Every structure is written in C-alpha cells, then in structure tokens.
Amino acid sequence: MASLWRSIVESIRPEQSESTDQVDREAPEANEQNDNQEEQADDSSEEVDIIADDQTPPPFPALNSAQRASAVGEARVVDSPRDQGQSPARAMGPPSLTPAPQRNPQASARTARQGPPGRLAPATSSTSGLGSQPSNGSRPLPVFNFSNVTPSARSRPTPQSSSSLPAPTTAPSSLAQARRKREKVALEPGYSQLDWANLKNSGKDLSGRPPGVPPVRITLEELKKHSKPEDAWTALGGKVYNLTPYLRFHPGGVKETMRCAGKDGTHLFNITHMWVNYDRMLANCFIGYLVPPGVN
Ligand code: HEM
C-alpha cells in the first residue's frame, strides 16, 4: 500500500514542478508588470511623502499626484477642472461614509485593518461606528468604504462596487451653484485688500470712539441704532466693531456687509466665510463688548 502511494506521488511530482516552471517561463512579462506596479506604488508613496512635507495646501488632488495619474481614463475624473467648471475636489468626491456592498469579505477585512494606501491613518476598531460587519463570525471589523476614493494601482474598485455608488459628479453642491450665480464685486481703486491691510497696519484708530475712551459695553438696543452705512456697527463673537471704515474694502460688497449692521452678525459672518479672521482684520475698528441679552 505504501509503495503504491510512493509511486503515485512520484509520478505526479515532476509534472507539478514542470507546470510551475511553465508558468514562470510563460509569464515573465506578467511578473515584470507586477514588479513595475509595485515600483509604481512605491514611487507614488514617495511622492505623497514629498507633498506632505510641503506645508502649502495643494489643490486636491495635486496636479502631479499619483492619485490623479492613476485615475486617468476613468469617466468621472475630470482632467481639467477649469474646462469642466468643476473643482477637482468635486470631481473626485470625498470618501463616502456609506458602507458599500462588499463582494469579498476577506478583502474588506484586510482593507479595514491596513487602511487605505497613502498616508491616511488606518481604521481601528474604535471607528466601528462607521458600520461594522462580522468578518469570521466572531469579531466585528470596522468597515469604511474607500471605493470612491480614486484607487491606486493596487486597490482599484470592482466595476460592481463603483457602479453601486452615486457618481460624485451628479451631486452638485448648492454652495457651488450659489457661487457661480454670484457676481463679482468690483472694488474701487484704492480699496483693495492690500489697501485695507496698509490702513490697518498704519495703526490708525478706526473705531470712531473719541480718543482716550476705553472700550465700552454695548447693549443690543444700542447696537440697533447703528445700522446705516455712515454709522454701521456690528457684533462678531461678542465684540462690537465699527464697520463703516471697512465697507468699501469688503470683497463681497457694501450691501452684503450691511446685512449684519446694527445686530449680532456672528452667525451670518460664519456661514459666509468662517475662515476670515475678523478679529485681526477689524482690530482698529474695535469699539467694545456686546452685553449679552438679559445681562445688565
Ligand atoms: C462684517 C465683517 C466682514 C468682514 C471683515 C468680511 C471680510 C471678507 C473677506 C476678507 C473676504 C475675502 C475672503 C476670501 O477671499 O476668502 C470676504 C469675502 C466675501 N464676503 Fe465678507 N466680510 C464681512 C461680512 C460679510 C457679510 C455679512 C457677508 C454677507 C452676508 C459677506 C459676504 C462676502 C462674500 C459674498 C464674499 C466673497 C466675495 C468674492 O470672493 O467675490 N461678508 N469678506
């Protein structure tokens, strides 16, 4: 019986090794391709490192990024955002938080453990709020859908998973639409942002307070009385500013700025452009502190 087995095994072995050799001989190009892909992926991570070292925020994705390069030819990626009237970020779309149907649960578990390519932090079990799926029946693994992030050479999503997602290009943001409709305000000569910066840096007091008078406490009733362009006050973050000197310098126009005159403009300001540092910009226009309603 044992000798029978030995003879069967020996008769099979040479064929196996031959067929493996054959695969190796037949597919040198494929191997080379794989090597190239590995190299490309390594190159791209180097590129990401270089970009990440630079502190200047690049347009997303960067024109020379591996992400953009690997997406060439895909329908939803817009090559030139300006030509298409879209921002690159919109064309690519942010990662979706909606868990996508996974064809291969093992692969999804691997992705969840290892995270996406590049420098994003890997998902951990603490992110299980993003949607959990039991992997081998016992431990639930976090599932984060990276499938509409432009794939690298290693992790291109299957046609099925990408088609099940809403195409980012079909979801125009209302903010972007509003921006397109809005007309650009032409500032008068001598009223550019640079002119304002120069005026501010001159140290001139633009608050309109009599010289030597310290910052005052201002009630909402008092604030209401100052709602005309020649005498416009607003409260931002609890501080009251004289808007009148700034009106003609405002890139969004006088009319828009006047919408927060005579009242607390914090919310309107923040929903418009919360990245603008009003405290620094209007430092010379500071009048005093807003008295919260109900406080004397
Ligand atoms: C009250 C103090 C305000 C200050 C100091 C201020 C300052 C600025 C600054 C610095 C910008 C240029 C921002 C950028 O390019 O990123 C800007 C733009 C703009 N602001 Fe204001 N703003 C004020 C109030 C308002 C209000 C109340 C509105 C409207 C409700 C408004 C509407 C706009 C708009 C539409 C733009 C865009 C202009 C453009 O790019 O064509 N701003 N503002």
pLDDT band at 288 (very low <50, low <70, confident <90, very high): very high
Check: CB of residue 96 under 8 Å from CB of residue 165: yes
Within a domain: 125: yes
- Residue to substitute in 180, 183, 199, 250 for testing ligand 1 pocket (most ligand atoms within 8 angstroms of CB): 250
- Residues 143, 197, single domain; the answer is no
Residue owning tokens 């409709």: 181
* Binding pocket residue ranges, ligand 1, CB within 6 Å: 184-185, 234, 243, 246, 250-252, 256-257, 259-260, 265, 268-269, 272-273, 276, 278, 281-282
pLDDT band at 149 (very low <50, low <70, confident <90, very high): very low
Within a domain: 147: yes
- Residues 154, 234, single domain; the answer is no
| Closest Cα to atom 11 of ligand 1 | 251
Within a domain: 15: no
pLDDT band at 173 (very low <50, low <70, confident <90, very high): low
CATH number of the domain within which 266 lies: 3.10.120.10
Domain range for 75: 31-79+103-161
ipTM: 0.91
Within a domain: 63: yes
pLDDT band at 184 (very low <50, low <70, confident <90, very high): confident
Average pLDDT of the residues in 1-5: 53
pLDDT band at 212 (very low <50, low <70, confident <90, very high): confident
With 0-12 CB in 10 A as exposed, 13-18 as middle and 19+ as buried, what is 150?
buried
- Residues 235, 151, single domain; the answer is no
Q: Which residues contact 11 (CB under 8 A, 6 or more apart)?
A: none
pLDDT band at 138 (very low <50, low <70, confident <90, very high): low
Within a domain: 181: no
* pTM score over 0.95: no
Pairing state of beta strands 216-218 and 286-290? Answer: parallel
